[in-house]
Structure 1
Amino acid sequence: MDRQSAAILDSRCTYDDCLIMSCLKSLFRRADKAAPAFVISDHIADIKKELEQLNVQGAAELTYPYLAAMETSMPNVAFRYAVIYKNDRPVLFAYFQLFSLSAQNFDLDKNKSFVKGLFSFFLKLKKIKVLVSGNALRNETLCYCFKTTDLDNETACEAIASVAEKIAADEHATAIILKDVPQAAGIAGWLTGIGYQQPWKDHVMVMDIDPEWKTMADYVSALSRKYKTRANKILAAGSSIAIKELEEADILKHGKAINKLFRKVTDNQPFVLTRPGDNHFALLKNVYNERFEFLGFFRGNELVAFYSAFVTAEVYELYYAGFDYDHNNDYQLYFNILFSGLERAILLNKKQLKLGRTSFDAKASLGAKAVEMNYYIKTANIPAAVINWFTHYFSTMEDGRWKQRNPLK
């Protein structure tokens, strides 16, 4: 995140729960008979039929099994699903996640005692509710589908934003974050006009895979001398660790150890949005099969690290990981997780390795580059001083801790 780009969010905004109706009337003003209508549900099962009618492209992240698995395995997250109808026909589906934040989500120990006490008190007094379009745990995944004969990208985005306003007003949300929404030339200006801002720059790390690399040895050979020496030391440190791909039954078998390792990592993060439930990874494996991989790192019979990844036609996307800090230095577990993910991307002939938005320096050393992410934020029902603190908190989480590197020749 870029501190220099941080802006001050406007605390005077309010959510317009009538915007959805004015938006629909504008979008469908030529509708013949039935007035435009919408439905918002807490459970995907309620609108399964409409979802399946609209997801004609079969996007994996918009299938009923995937959304049902996410709803089941994320117990601390509330889901909201919306369908817009025209002449009694569904024309747009979108989903949202609603998070309730407290002091437990933040690492406040690094703040001055007065500041820590002040914001701990505020977070105990008032839970922060944040509404996010789509899946807050992943980037660049679809959260909508619509009939292109009735809507274009701009009108679809306006409809999604209008639904978000309605949900936020009903839930007394503190903030709306719009991400992974349809993009169009005029949409940024429209969103700004109703109170959305982009208060800081956010990035994810992405690595292009050279098509000439067929094995991990090819990647190591392509490194400059300094990084080649470093890579060989890391790989040698982890050479006694057995890396095994786990199936659904294996994930369930090692569930307790997986949760323990995952908690070790999240407990060291400055901010944790949510922790998935115990069955999260097993359910994803059940839904995705070979398109979701779960790799366990074993020291003898002991699971000491793991990572998970989504596999698409062109991309290998690292998801959640966990490792034992007590063994990290001896076996370079974290860096070997990154190397293993890269090796899987190479062996599966993928064009890109997606590495997420934490530990930028380590991923830059691998050869990844920062890619800017676009999203919009609107806040309400929160004091300006608290907004400014949150903006500063998030905008400095990664700022100044890493630099872009060029490890390849």
Structure 2
Amino acid sequence: MLLCSKHSLNVRYFYNINEISNDIWKELDCESNRYFHRKYLEALQLNNSSIKFAYIVLLNENNSPVALATIQIVDFYLDSVQNDMQSVVEWVKCMGRKLGLIPPENVFKILTCGNTFVSGEHGVFIKDNQDKNTIIRSIAKAVVDFENLSAKNSADVFMFKDFENISEFTTSLHDEGYNSFNVDPNMVLHLEPNWSSLDDYLTALKTKFRVKARKAFKLSELLKTEDVTAGRLSELFPEMTSLYKTVSTKASFNLGDFNLKTYKTLKENLGDNYILKVYWLEDKLVGFLSGVFNQESLDAHFVGIDYVNNRQYAIYQRILYDYISLGIAKKVKTINFGRTASEIKSSVGAVPQDLTIYLRHKKTIPNRILSLFLNRIQPSEFTQRHPFKLKD
């Protein structure tokens, strides 16, 4: 643990989640949000050794904690960017090499204030009745100071990830040199409070979309599902990892690979609040879903799909409907499906939630070039479907 008091608020840095005292956790009172629960954060840090984790705690003049920020330093390879963004990346490589700003291996170390593995505003917790802009400015300065503390903390780029659009923090972060941009939106399904089963959801659909759902259930009849326990994961891990890789490699923008061994710790630490379900076609594993129940939401985590069998057996559609069934059973208000496959998610009722990312290079001239790059990034276009009947 390191202490710094160069800002209006005192700053403490921790390199391990278990270094943060019980008194701090108690005063922050943040653990009702799973993403700021020490057991969730412990699972990420314990199983993803390729990422450097750290934590910032801000304290007021009375030395009482008022905010927590999570830091993750990841290696990001430009060559990993695919699909619609490839032309933009090629332009960045060309400009960067001419100016000597792009390393030969095309790798950037990104210091992220946020959650690398989940879409949403899960990187900064601020207690109620605080001046949020003052805290965000303090965290932005603390992030830079953290990078300067040690060569081990070295990063090329700083990122504040996934703030809801239009963020109240935009001015504060722009003043600190950050550039803002939007990538593909988080797709969110709002559940009606009177839905008590999946049949209620299906009844709310227009005929065309209800027929589509029934067809998916018919095609997926041969699939057998299994709720996975922590003890069962070691047997399924190789096949699940292979399925995960088939999905993750299709993503146009992926900050880092998730080690599926994290699932075992998440199940042990969070119990029924973390869900894992696998799909069998006879004796072949052809899919899985994962997710976390957080307050009044079900957040879809990673999925795995056997694309060879996906169309014939409607594996991905079945996964989406199973998320909905799980959410209704738990009486959550929303299901956060994440960023990818926006159109098919909209066909089950999800609507886009725009999220803003803030990025800055640690050097002034590269930061100006970075702003030109970010101006070229646009969210992927898709046709928004409207599957629900109009309400009376």
In structure 2, distance between residues paired with 1:254 and 1:186: 43
Give identity over the alignment, percent.
19
In structure 2, distance between residues paired with 1:182 and 1:199: 12
Q: Which of residues 302, 321, 337 in structure 2 aligns to 1:320?
A: 302
Q: Which of residues 81, 106, 111 in structure 2 aligns to 1:106?
A: 81
Question: Which residue identity lines up with residue 157 of structure 1 in the other structure?
Answer: I
In structure 1, distance between residues paired with 2:350 and 2:244: 24
Question: Which residue identity lines up with residue 218 of structure 2 in the other structure?
Answer: A
Q: Which residue of 1 aligns with 2:244?
A: 262
1:172-193 per-position Cα deviation (integer Å, ceiling 9, x unaligned): 4332222467999974323222
Q: TM-score, normalised by structure 2?
A: 0.84
Gaps of 5+ in 2: none
**What is the DSSP-based 3-state SS (H/G/I as helix, E as strand, rest coil) of the residue aligned with 1:136?**
coil
Is residue 138 from structure 1 mapped to residue 91 from structure 2 by the alignment? no
Q: TM-score, normalised by structure 1?
A: 0.80
Q: Which residue of 1 aligns with 2:388?
A: 408
Aligned residues of 1:202 and 1:374 also touching (Cα < 8 A): no
* Aligned-CA RMSD value: 3.2
Gaps of 5+ in 1: 1-19, 28-35
What displacement does 1:62 show?
2.5
Aligned residues of 1:245 and 1:294 also touching (Cα < 8 A): yes
Question: Which residue identity lines up with residue 300 of structure 1 in the other structure?
Answer: E
Q: Which residue of 1 aligns with 2:284?
A: 302
1:75-90 to structure 2, matched below 5 A, reads 75-85=49-59, 89-90=63-64
Aligned residues of 2:163 and 2:355 also touching (Cα < 8 A): no
In structure 1, distance between residues paired with 2:5 and 2:165: 22
**What is the DSSP-based 3-state SS (H/G/I as helix, E as strand, rest coil) of the residue aligned with 1:248?**
coil
In structure 1, distance between residues paired with 2:182 and 2:18: 36
1:327-368 per-position Cα deviation (integer Å, ceiling 9, x unaligned): 111111111111111111122222111111111001011111
Call closer, same or farther: CA 1:229–1:312 in 2, change over 3 Å.
same
**What is the DSSP-based 3-state SS (H/G/I as helix, E as strand, rest coil) of the residue aligned with 1:23?**
coil
Aligned residues of 2:187 and 2:336 also touching (Cα < 8 A): yes
Aligned residues of 1:153 and 1:183 also touching (Cα < 8 A): no
Q: Which residue of 2 aligns with 1:16?
A: none
1:158-197 to structure 2, matched below 5 A, reads 158-170=137-149, 171-179=153-161, 187-197=169-179
Q: Which residue of 2 aligns with 1:285?
A: 267
**What is the DSSP-based 3-state SS (H/G/I as helix, E as strand, rest coil) of the residue aligned with 2:255?**
coil
What displacement does 1:78 show?
1.0
Is residue 156 from structure 1 mapped to residue 135 from structure 2 by the alignment? yes
Q: Which of residues 10, 20, 36 in structure 2 aligns to 1:62?
A: 36
Aligned residues of 1:54 and 1:146 also touching (Cα < 8 A): no
Aligned length: 374
1:153-209 per-position Cα deviation (integer Å, ceiling 9, x unaligned): 233222212211223445443322224679999743232222123233652110111
Call closer, same or farther: CA 1:156–1:385 in 2, change over 3 Å.
closer
Aligned residues of 1:296 and 1:305 also touching (Cα < 8 A): yes
What displacement does 1:254 show?
0.6
Call closer, same or farther: CA 1:159–1:202 in 2, change over 3 Å.
farther
Aligned residues of 1:133 and 1:180 also touching (Cα < 8 A): no
In structure 2, distance between residues paired with 1:118 and 1:198: 20
Is residue 42 from structure 1 mapped to residue 11 from structure 2 by the alignment? no
Q: Which residue of 2 aligns with 1:23?
A: 7
